[in-house]
Structure 1
Amino acid sequence: MTIKIFYIRRIFMKDGRKVFFSTLLSVLLIISNIVAIKVTVVAKLPLSCSVFIYPFTYLCTALISELYGNKDARKSILYAIIIQIIVLLAYILVTNVPNQINSIDKANALQKVLTPYGINGNYYPELRPIIATLVAFTIGHIVNVGLYSFAKKNTFKLIAVALSVIIGMIVDTCIYVLISQMGTLAGNELVLQLINRFVVNVVASVIIIILFMIFSIRKKEEVKTTKKQKG
């Protein structure tokens, strides 16, 4: 038990935070793509389940930028994209491997349980939504990191993270919806889709800002403790 606590603490020490948040960024992106096809209704708004996970990728990039700077945050974004592409290629390979004769019935049953679109709907996504996700993720997070780096030099840190997260998520949402839904939805449905996602983004932004504040307070306490120990 003591050993486990030691390793957990070590993960959250400064030297391990970059690895932790970079890994979390990749994991959140992958999970978001897996659950993206599941649609639920919240307050009469139809929403993809990915909107409850994906926004927190912005918290990861904001924290990496805060701890290690703009350059490392950009690297983490690039690594997340590369890992996502590797995962997608692995899914495509696995779903195209022939089944054993005695496992065909089980595979067919599993298809019906997972999704009405079959197992390929979960693990072999359509190309257009995936391209939309990767493009939106890249541009939205680069905007987030760049704007935060600029804004925190010219205003309060809390205002900087609020502006960067909200604007980054708006850019992200617009790009994703336009690429993935343009031509498949009527104009009013497209607008409704954007509004639905904006509502979720606002709520997610508030949560992200609160978590960022908590982390910043914790960071200040660690700095004070370190100075006292050195003094």
Structure 2
Amino acid sequence: MGASNAASVSSRSSKAVFAAAGSPYFSTVLALMGAVVILSNIGAAKGVALGPIITDGGFFLFPLAYILGDVISEVYGFKAARRSILVTFGLAIFAVLCFWVMIALPSAEFYDGQQALERTLGPVWQIVLASILGFLMGQLANAWVLVKLKERFGERGLIGRLIGSSGVGEFLDTLIFCSIAASVIGITDGAQFLNYLLVGFVYKTGVEIIFVPVTAAVIRWFKRKEPGYGQQVSTSA
């Protein structure tokens, strides 16, 4: 009987708990993710060389989108993460349509920035395509792995599942994104592409790992602030 009770308690303590996605906290994180992805898509149209390192102008923003994705997946679950990904890229597509209209509008006689505008925002649709395929697959893989690990270990092992899910998600994301975006920013040489790919993967994954303590702290804050989450944890314990 004692062993049976212990097994029952262990089973309940490892139950995956998620908050309802209808809270204002969820909508705030979703809005931030949309803004980060749109800005990173614009920045990614610029090729950047930092010494021997080749990257793009959105390199410092994109890891933040994954950190926000981790928060949503861990606190609100896979369905909420999937919805946030689709909404975010709907916003990204809307932004591209707006850029297209801005470029197509006839310029005033006093405006001399048309060529610069076209050069800056014109290739963004290709970057968005790369983001849709890369970030979509990467984020879904990241969310799926994180949630599956949570279903296995419950509230335990947060740091491990953040690192593990990030590695899987960032690899798929970077591979797909770089394959499409490289030619847009002027990378045609095989060695430069390999540099771009490896630097992107190592950098993005490294940043996420460095910020894992911050991500974990933010996640714990959300868990404390979400009343429904705390109630579910108490019930399952």
TM-score between the two structures when normalised by the length of structure 2: 0.76
Report the equivalent of 1:179.
Answer: 180
- After superposition, residues 16-27 of structure 1 pair within 5 angstroms as 16-27=24-35
Q: Indicate if the aligned counterparts of 1:181 and 1:190 stay in contact, CA closer than 8 A.
A: yes
Please state if 1:67 is matched with 2:75.
Answer: yes
Q: Indicate if the aligned counterparts of 1:40 and 1:46 stay in contact, CA closer than 8 A.
A: yes
For residue 198 of structure 1, report the CA deviation from its aligned partner.
2.2
Please list every run of at least 4 consecutive aligned residues from structure 1 whose deviation after the TM superposition is greater than 6 angstroms: none
Deviates more, 1:36-45 or 1:195-204: 36-45
Give the 3 Å change call, closer, same or farther, for CA 217–68 of structure 1 in structure 2.
closer
For residue 176 of structure 1, report the CA deviation from its aligned partner.
0.9
For residue 203 of structure 1, report the CA deviation from its aligned partner.
2.5
Please provide the CA RMSD for this pair. 2.5
For residue 97 of structure 1, report the CA deviation from its aligned partner.
0.5
TM-score between the two structures when normalised by the length of structure 1: 0.78
Question: Matched residues in 2 for 1:216 and 1:35: separation?
Answer: 28
Aligned partner (choices 196, 202, 207) of residue 205 of structure 2: 202
Deviates more, 1:186-195 or 1:51-60: 186-195
For residue 218 of structure 1, report the CA deviation from its aligned partner.
2.9
* Deviation sequence 1:75-109 (CA, Å, 0-9, x none): 010001111101110110111100223x2xxx32x
Report the equivalent of 1:76.
Answer: 84
Q: Indicate if the aligned counterparts of 1:29 and 1:57 stay in contact, CA closer than 8 A.
A: yes
Please state if 1:169 is matched with 2:170.
Answer: yes
Match for 2:166: what amino acid? V
Q: Indicate if the aligned counterparts of 1:173 and 1:197 stay in contact, CA closer than 8 A.
A: yes
- SS in structure 1 opposite 2:54? strand
Greater percentage in helix: 1
Report the equivalent of 2:148.
Answer: 150
For residue 68 of structure 1, report the CA deviation from its aligned partner.
1.5
Match for 1:173: what amino acid? T
Aligned partner (choices 175, 192, 196) of residue 193 of structure 1: 196
- SS in structure 1 opposite 2:23? helix
Give the 3 Å change call, closer, same or farther, for CA 223–96 of structure 1 in structure 2.
closer
Question: Matched residues in 2 for 1:123 and 1:180: separation?
Answer: 14
- SS in structure 2 opposite 1:98? coil
For residue 43 of structure 1, report the CA deviation from its aligned partner.
5.4
Deviates more, 1:28-37 or 1:147-156: 147-156
Q: Indicate if the aligned counterparts of 1:56 and 1:208 stay in contact, CA closer than 8 A.
A: no
Question: Matched residues in 2 for 1:68 and 1:95: separation?
Answer: 39
Please state if 1:92 is matched with 2:96.
Answer: no
Report the equivalent of 1:5.
Answer: none
Give the 3 Å change call, closer, same or farther, for CA 33–222 of structure 1 in structure 2.
closer
Report the equivalent of 1:40.
Answer: 48
Match for 1:180: what amino acid? A
Report the equivalent of 2:64.
Answer: 56
* Deviation sequence 1:145-170 (CA, Å, 0-9, x none): 11111112224121111111121011
- SS in structure 2 opposite 1:40? strand
For residue 195 of structure 1, report the CA deviation from its aligned partner.
1.7
Report the equivalent of 2:116.
Answer: 118
Give the 3 Å change call, closer, same or farther, for CA 179–53 of structure 1 in structure 2.
same
5+ residue gaps, structure 1, are 1-13, 112-116
Match for 1:145: what amino acid? A
Identity of aligned residues (%): 22
Q: How many residues align?
A: 203
Q: Indicate if the aligned counterparts of 1:91 and 1:123 stay in contact, CA closer than 8 A.
A: yes
For residue 184 of structure 1, report the CA deviation from its aligned partner.
5.5
- SS in structure 2 opposite 1:118? helix
Match for 1:199: what amino acid? V
Q: Relative contact order: is structure 1 or structure 2 higher (C-alpha 8 Å, sep ≥ 6)?
A: 2
